[in-house]
Structure 1
Amino acid sequence: MQEVGSASLNPLCSGGFGMHGGTPASGAPKANQNACTHDFFTKDAIAKRRQVQALLGEARKLLEELPLSNA
């Protein structure tokens, strides 16, 4: 009997070459536009999110600097 947490002795489970896996180099090639179905992880989308976050950070700083009115 095998200990819990030890590596599997079955080559289909340990290497990823079985029916449900693939070779480590399998999958879509880099820069394959067919692999991006929702455009969430494209370089342009990531850059836009970073710009928006930077802009929001600047807006928060400006709001913190404004004096509060006691009206």
Structure 2
Amino acid sequence: MRQSSRCGAKTRSGGKCQAPAVSGKPRCRMHGGAKGSGAPKGNRNALKHGLYTREALEVRKMLSELMRASRKTLREIE
């Protein structure tokens, strides 16, 4: 156990984690060496709501321009 490689994750105090690394991985079980740890493959988290997709941004920009033009038209009529 003493000869096993150590986790190199940075701790809050600025030092390195000294827990033994999971075999075949550079980190311990608490810092990403455990099976199934880490982010999913691909960026599935960004697909949660679609608020910042290219299409949604274009629609909001188009609506903003339309509102601006309609306000200008209303000011000219008054």
Q: So what's the TM-score if we normalise by structure 2?
A: 0.46
Higher RCO (CA 8 Å, separation ≥ 6 residues)? 2
Indicate the structure (1 or 2) with the bigger Cα radius of gyration: 2
Q: So what's the TM-score if we normalise by structure 1?
A: 0.50
